[in-house]
């Protein structure tokens, strides 16, 4: 549990999504959303690349945490 309520709620949202708390619906929606965003990026929508960058940063955050 994080001390800051906002961050704690946001982290719990992440945990619930990847842990399948709702039966996996949120995860499947996220996956579908990211596939759509990637297709938009491939079609030249530069703003979609910003969302893909967020995904890349989140992945790097996980890698850094696992190196500790």
Over residues 20-66, the pLDDT tens digits come to 999 999 999 999 999 999 999 999 999 999 999 999 999 999 999 99
Token representation of residue 46: 């530069």
Question: 28 with 36: CB under 8 angstroms?
Answer: no
* pTM of the full structure: 0.87
Q: Where are the beta strands (DSSP E) in 1-68?
A: none
> What's the Cα-to-Cα distance from 8 to each of 11, 19, 25, rounded to whole Å?
5, 16, 21
């Amino acid at each position: 549990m994080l001390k800051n309520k906002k961050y704690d709620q946001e982290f719990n949202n992440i945990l619930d999504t990847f842990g399948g708390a709702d039966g996996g619906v949120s995860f499947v929606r996220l996956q579908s959303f990211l596939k759509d965003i990637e297709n938009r990026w491939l079609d030249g929508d530069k703003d979609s690349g910003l969302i893909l960058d967020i995904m890349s940063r989140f992945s790097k955050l996980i890698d850094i945490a696992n190196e500790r």
